[in-house]
Each structure stands twice: as structure tokens, then as C-alpha cells.
Amino acid sequence: MHLVITFGNLCESGISYANNGASSLLATALKNDYEFNVRDVCNAGTNSEQIDALLNRQLCDTWSSTGLDDVLTLLIGTNDIIQNNDLANANSRLENLIRTIYQNNESKVSKSTPMFVASIPDFNYTASWSQMPGWGEWTSSSKHGFTGTKQEIEDQINAKVKAYNDGIPDVINALKDDGYNVYFVDVNSVVNKNTDLYDGCHPNVSGSTNI
């Protein structure tokens, strides 16, 4: 089993959604008598990585060298949103990334290997104005093309989060039509931006547990 996700920073108690996710999947497997091959957790992202950067790496540098993985999870798009990167094409870029993961790693995965593709959480910028990853201290009310008051910028960003998340099911359906065993997981619905984020972006203990 590999968890293919973005960096998955440890929160204040040393818990990450990568490790929590592996534990949850394994518990489900045991409960239902599934035989998942749980070899390692592949926390394959890097700080501030966008969809295209993960596409370029193709994950080949982090996966185990032999065998077929049983479960893949993908949560990406957060950094594209906060850096306002080609959001009009974000969902098509996500689809291309998923196809590339399968096609460029045929020795390790097949079309039948399940991948769970997650929506991304909303942001809480009004509570964490100076703590956003990659943004540094706020010296003005404008960053990456977002302008206005704290609340106005938060609303603009979360509107783009919604647009991106709303497009993921269409990506999943297109991939399913081509025979890929992919599923949509609505992480956004279980992460409360007011209570489940420790810096306005990354999940805290409750956020990681919910994911």
C-alpha cells in the first residue's frame, strides 16, 4: 500500500494524515478480511509542490522497486490554489497526473489498482494571516493575485477550492470510462477550516484523524 499525497506535515502532536491514513486502511482491511500488502507509506510530496511538479517527478524516486501496490491515495492541488497557478486547467492537469502515475509505473501498478483521489480542504486565512506556507509574513493585502481584506482574500481562495473540488468527480468519471479503478473521496467535507487546521492550511490532530 502506498499513500501518494502531498508533504503531509506533522501537526503539533507528531501525527500526520499519511500515517493515520495507513492505519485506517489497514484496520478496514483486517475488519473485512482483505489482504492488503502493506509494505510502506510513500509520503511522496514536497513542500509547496504543485500538480505539475509531482507530474514531472512521476513518483518513481520514492516507490519500492518490486511488487504491485494494493492501494493508492492522492491528495493534491492545495499549492496550486494558494499560488493561483493555472487554475482554469487544474482539473485537466490532475487527470493527466493520474494517467501518468499509472502509465509510467506499469511494473508496480495496473489499471485495476485502486486509487482514492481526494478533494482538498478549505483555507482559514483570517485566523492565520502570517503563517501560510510559502507566503511568509504579510506585508500587504495582495499576494499571488488575491487582493482585498483578510476575509475577502479567504473568500476568493475558497471559491477556487470549491471550483477545483467540484471538478474532481468529472475527472474520476473520465478515468473510470477508460478502465481506471479510481474513486473520489470528499476530504473537504470532513475537515473544518475553523477547528481542524493548525496553521490555516495543514491539518491538526483532529483534522488528520478525520482524513
- The tens digit of pLDDT for each residue in 137-186 reads 444 544 677 877 788 888 999 999 999 999 999 999 999 999 999 999 99
User: What is the pLDDT, as a whole number, of residue 19?
Assistant: 55
Looking at residue 31, what is its pLDDT?
44
DSSP 96: H
pLDDT attached to residue 210: 87
- Res 114: pLDDT: 92
Q: Residue ranges of the chain with pLDDT lower than 70?
A: 1-48, 57-69, 127-143
User: Which residue carries 502493506 as its cell?
Assistant: 38
Burial annotation 20-29 (CB, 10 A radius, 16+ → b, else e) = bbbeebeeeb
pLDDT score recorded for residue 176:
97
The reported pTM is 0.78
Query: Grid coordinates 474532481 are at which residue?
Result: 168
Length of the chain: 211
